């Protein structure tokens, strides 16, 4: 009994001691926890202070950066060169402006085919000349003005590297007879317009879509072997009626849609006469070329009213196809009447005023394995003439064939043949041959012609400088009077003698060496 009491007392004492120890431990832990909380609060306060300081420093840095950017913008030039641009392109006023140019000069040795011809006077036969051929300098640019809309412009001038700038009133040959100022700003393709992924609408002056559609097919472009001596040339003179630059025009250029692209142009006649016998309003020359003074004081040598031109093209790798049409309304040809030697033919009203049009189709293909490119163009010209016997403007059959063969990465040889078919008639031309009297004969006559050209071209390192050597021959049948270089060459080789008299049935020859430079 006594042992049980002693044991019970011992247990009670042990329990009391344990509760005291636990109480002591709990108090110590509480004190440590409170101390830790105080340290955490102090650390949070320090972190908050550091964060505030960092935010202040960041704000200060941003303000300094903005101020520096503004200072740099204010001190930066208004015009800057566009980075990584291979052309002379500058960043200007939120847009781009590009300076560009093309130089083409040649030394030509030419023969007008009149040496020994009855009636021909002056220095005929071979003659040397230096010619600047469609050389140009231009400025073009664009600037975004809205989503999917930008403004575009171009100013282009003809550059006379060889000849003295001025108008071309040389009636003794060398080019079309007009009073336009060569070298003036805007003398070549110039316009203002709007563009987007829907295409472009432009106003100004430009090469007609009809002309542009086949330019790429002519390896002799702007040389004395240029195809425009025949193609698009309805009269066989220095003027090319259907491969020309059109003034005071508005046109649309489509985007490329699955290889298809197109363009359509309209140029109003801007003429207050019913027969277009005066110059268009705002123009120095008769529409279609020539000055009024060259047509007896009025525009009666091909002046017309409204002009429409359109082209459609398809490109798929090495294949290129095109179809083009152009229409000239109320073309005045009264100057061709009463021109024969008898003073009667063609009689009044037999040539007159009528619509003229042109239609052509072309195909070009490059066979890459051999570096061979071939092209073929067919063309039909038409005039609604009162009397077919005096109609030299309708030509149902004209064609052009060209071939270019690459022989190295930098060299190629080329050849071409252009043919002009016969017309229903002729208003009269000087057709004298050796032993035949000098006379003007109107009516049906053989006025076919063929042009042949061969050439070589070398491309220097950057492909923007070339050297070329070409030879060309124009073989006119008895009633034809086509020239060499019409439409592109600066100084053409025509069928005129030293007094400016024109002759038909000539064989014109030329050899030419030239250099081109693009930037």
The pLDDT, as a whole number, for residue 72 is 55
Does residue 75 form part of some domain?
Answer: no
Nearest CA to 120 among 438, 482, 436, 508? 438
How buried is 442 (Cβ within 10 angstroms: 0-12 exposed, 13-18 middle, 19+ buried)?
A: buried
Question: Cβ atoms within 10 A of the Cβ of 400, count?
Answer: 23
CA 174, 307, 385, 362 torsion-angle sign: positive
Domain that holds residue 327: 102-137+166-518
CA 425, 427, 432, 438 torsion-angle sign: positive
Looking at the DSSP assignment, which residues form a beta bridge with residue 383?
Answer: 356
Does residue 69 form part of some domain?
Answer: no
The pLDDT, as a whole number, for residue 5 is 45
Rounded to an integer, what distance in angstroms lies between the CA atom of residue 215 and that of residue 157? 20
Does residue 445 form part of some domain?
Answer: yes
Does residue 18 form part of some domain?
Answer: no
Backbone torsion region of residue 176, taken as left when φ is above 0, otherwise alpha when ψ lies between -120 and 50, otherwise beta? beta
E strands, 370-431, are 372-383, 395-406, 411-420, 429-430
Rounded to an integer, what distance in angstroms lies between the CA atom of residue 434 and that of residue 233? 27
Cα three-residue angle 101-105-110, rounded to 5 degrees:
150
The pLDDT, as a whole number, for residue 2 is 45
Does residue 23 form part of some domain?
Answer: no
The pLDDT, as a whole number, for residue 469 is 98
Looking at the DSSP assignment, which residues form a beta bridge with residue 208?
Answer: none
Does residue 22 form part of some domain?
Answer: no
Does residue 83 form part of some domain?
Answer: no
One digit per residue, the tens of pLDDT, for the chain of length 519 reads 444 444 444 444 444 444 444 444 567 777 777 777 777 777 777 777 777 777 777 777 777 777 665 655 555 566 787 877 778 999 988 899 999 999 999 999 999 999 988 889 999 999 999 999 999 999 999 999 999 999 999 999 999 999 888 776 554 455 555 677 777 888 999 999 999 999 999 999 999 999 999 999 999 999 999 999 999 999 888 889 999 999 999 999 999 999 999 999 999 999 999 999 999 999 988 998 777 765 556 899 999 999 999 999 999 999 999 999 999 999 999 988 877 766 677 888 999 999 999 999 999 999 999 999 999 999 999 999 999 999 999 999 999 999 999 999 999 999 999 999 999 988 876 666 655 555 666 778 899 999 999 999 999 998 999 999 999 999 999 889 999 999 889 999 999 999 988 888 999 999 999 999 999
The pLDDT, as a whole number, for residue 295 is 52
- pTM given for the model: 0.82
| Overall number of domains in the chain | 1
Does residue 276 form part of some domain?
Answer: yes
CATH number for the domain spanning 390: value is 2.40.160.10
Rounded to an integer, what distance in angstroms lies between the CA atom of residue 243 and that of residue 227? 10
């Amino acid at each position: 009994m006594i042992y049980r009491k002693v044991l019970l007392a011992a247990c009670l004492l042990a329990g009391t001691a344990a509760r005291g120890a636990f109480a002591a431990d709990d108090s110590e832990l509480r004190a440590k926890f409170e101390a830790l909380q105080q340290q955490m609060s102090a650390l949070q306060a320090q972190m908050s202070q550091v964060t505030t300081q960092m935010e202040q420093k960041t704000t200060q840095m941003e303000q300094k950066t903005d101020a520096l950017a503004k200072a740099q913008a204010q001190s930066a030039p208004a015009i800057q060169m566009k980075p990584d641009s291979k052309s002379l392109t500058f960043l200007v006023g939120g847009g781009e402006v590009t300076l560009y140019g093309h130089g083409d000069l040649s030394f030509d040795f030419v023969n007008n085919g009149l040496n020994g011809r009855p009636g021909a006077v002056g220095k005929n036969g071979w003659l040397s000349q230096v010619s600047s051929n469609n050389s140009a300098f231009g400025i073009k640019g664009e600037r975004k003005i809205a989503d999917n809309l930008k403004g575009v412009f171009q100013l282009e001038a003809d550059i006379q590297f060889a000849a003295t700038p001025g108008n071309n009133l040389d009636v003794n040959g060398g080019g079309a007879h007009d009073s336009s100022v060569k070298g003036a700003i805007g003398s070549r393709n110039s316009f203002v317009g709007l563009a987007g992924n829907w295409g472009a609408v432009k106003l100004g002056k430009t090469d007609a879509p009809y002309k542009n559609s086949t330019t790429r097919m002519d390896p002799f472009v702007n040389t004395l072997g240029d195809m425009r001596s025949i193609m698009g040339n309805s009269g066989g003179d220095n003027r090319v009626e259907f491969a020309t630059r059109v003034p005071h025009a508005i046109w649309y250029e489509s985007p490329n849609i699955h290889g298809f692209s197109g363009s359509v142009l309209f140029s109003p006649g801007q003429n207050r006469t019913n027969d277009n016998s005066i110059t268009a309003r705002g123009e120095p020359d008769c529409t279609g070329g020539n000055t009024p003074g060259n047509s007896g004081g009025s525009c009666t040598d091909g002046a017309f009213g409204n002009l429409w031109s359109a082209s459609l093209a398809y490109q798929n790798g090495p294949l290129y196809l095109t179809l083009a049409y152009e229409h000239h309304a109320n073309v005045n040809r009264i100057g061709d009447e009463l021109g024969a030697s008898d003073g009667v033919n063609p009689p009044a009203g037999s040539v007159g005023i009528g619509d003229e049009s042109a239609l052509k189709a072309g195909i070009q293909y490059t066979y890459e394995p051999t570096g061979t490119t071939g092209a073929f163009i067919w063309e039909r010209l038409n005039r609604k003439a009162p009397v077919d016997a005096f109609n030299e403007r309708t030509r149902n059959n004209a064609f052009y064939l060209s071939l270019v063969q690459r022989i190295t990465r930098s060299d190629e040889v080329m050849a071409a043949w252009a043919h002009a078919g016969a017309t229903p008639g002729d208003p009269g031309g000087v057709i004298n041959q050796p032993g035949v009297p000098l006379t003007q004969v109107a009516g049906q006559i053989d006025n076919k012609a063929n042009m042949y050209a061969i050439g070589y071209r070398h491309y220097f390192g950057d492909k923007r400088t070339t050297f070329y050597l070409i030879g060309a021959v124009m073989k006119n049948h008895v009633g034809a009077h086509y020239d060499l270089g019409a439409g592109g060459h600066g100084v053409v080789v025509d069928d005129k003698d030293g007094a400016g008299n024109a002759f038909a049935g000539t064989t014109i020859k030329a050899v030419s060496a030239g250099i081109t430079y693009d930037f």
